[in-house]
Amino acid sequence: MRFAALVVAAAAALVLLLGGAVPATAQSWSPPSPDERCPSKWGAGDERGAANHMGPATLLKAARLIQAGRMIELGQVLRSSMPLGNRHFDLYMKPTGPPVGSNRRASNEELVVAEMGQVGTQFDAFPHQTIGDSLYNCFDQNEVMTRSGFTRLGVENVGTLMTRGVLIDVAALKGVDMLPDRYEITAEDLQQALDRQGVALEPGDAVLIHTGWGVLWDSDGERFMAGNPGIGVAAGEWLVEQDPMLLGADNQPIEVSPTPDPDVSLPIHQMMLVVNGIYLVERMRLDELAAAGVHEFAFVVQPLKLEGATGSTVAPVAIY
């Protein structure tokens, strides 16, 4: 990402020189060219990205973190009243018929009409974001997207992920329950929080960022969706250098929203999913984990086997 950092610095300097609209505190971002990002470090044609970290050593390292035999659920409850934005979720009850037999057995089912890849606590797979028509590892969206799903890079390729999880409690670092609206988390914030916790990141980690924003999920869905604190471009580039398996947070898009540079749309999404093959887990429930002071744990998540889907609603857990 050194080239990208140089491009960012040069672009910011030019904009300031010309009196552009980008504030002095905003860091812009431009995606690297296909030649710079492809093939991925996992090889030409790879579809799993950072999930390639998975292996016996990863599982055993995570398992060794289970000492107290306790578990904290990190997924939000799915309901029609949850924050959705322009997405959709409805659940309809479906009794299967009248009671039958001498024991009068009856049963119920449900019909779920929803964007199951992109609601609730959600796992973003690689087809979720593009740079133009180009996906992760330079797969061409026009060649792999069909009416019934993606023929490459679908979320079914991910499988079960069990790895070392690290909670970076930025809210605690700042001495607040919840970071201010639209606060941009810096690389320095992340490093200082880790130092405060006495934890260092390692390749293949699941890195979860606690902003405190998740408490709004049930209490103020409108504010939850309107804008939020989150990581900025520099923090994203720093995290890429740490080589994680995935990034998660308790806010809507993981990154600060709106993006400080109004001309750039969700750069962290492109940086992670398209350029570096790092998964995102959004809208996590992290308040209980933060309150327990648990910063290192076994993290387990398995996306639904939705063939060709861009992501999956998930219910990850932290075990310690």
Kindly tell me if the per-residue pLDDT of 62 is higher than 60.
Answer: yes
Alpha helices in 141-220 (DSSP H): 141-144, 170-173, 187-197, 216-219
DSSP 3-state of 3: helix
Query: Cα(313)–Cα(87) distance, rounded to whole angstroms?
Result: 13
- pLDDT of 288: 97
Give the amino acid at 314.
V
- pLDDT of 28: 85
Residue 17 covered by a domain: yes
Residues in the chain: 320
Angle at 142 between CA 139 and CA 145, to 5 degrees: 85
Model pLDDT for residues 229-272, shown as the tens digit of each residue: 999 999 999 999 999 999 999 999 999 999 999 999 999 999 99
- Chain-centroid distance, C-alpha 202: 18
Residue 96 covered by a domain: no
Kindly tell me if the per-residue pLDDT of 18 is higher than 60.
Answer: no
Domain tally for the chain?
Answer: 1
Q: How confident is the model at residue 310 (pLDDT cuts 50, 70, 90)?
A: very high
Model pLDDT for residues 275-298, shown as the tens digit of each residue: 999 999 999 999 999 999 999 999
Query: Cα(303)–Cα(299) distance, rounded to whole angstroms?
Result: 13
* CA-wise closest residue to 167 among 53, 248, 64, 73: 248
The whole domain housing 227 covers 2-87+112-319
Residue 104 covered by a domain: no
For residue 169, give both structure tokens.
């409690």
Model pLDDT for residues 89-113, shown as the tens digit of each residue: 999 999 998 999 999 999 999 999 9
Q: How many Cβ atoms sit within 10 Å of the Cβ of residue 116? A: 18
- pLDDT of 26: 60
Residue 36 covered by a domain: yes
- Whole-model pTM? 0.89
Query: Cα(191)–Cα(189) distance, rounded to whole angstroms?
Result: 6
Residue 101 covered by a domain: no
Residue 289 covered by a domain: yes
Residue 291 covered by a domain: yes
Q: How confident is the model at residue 27 (pLDDT cuts 50, 70, 90)?
A: confident
Model pLDDT for residues 144-199, shown as the tens digit of each residue: 999 999 999 999 999 999 999 999 999 999 999 999 999 999 999 999 999 999 99
Q: Residue 208 is part of a domain; what is its CATH number?
A: 3.50.30.50
Residue 268 covered by a domain: yes
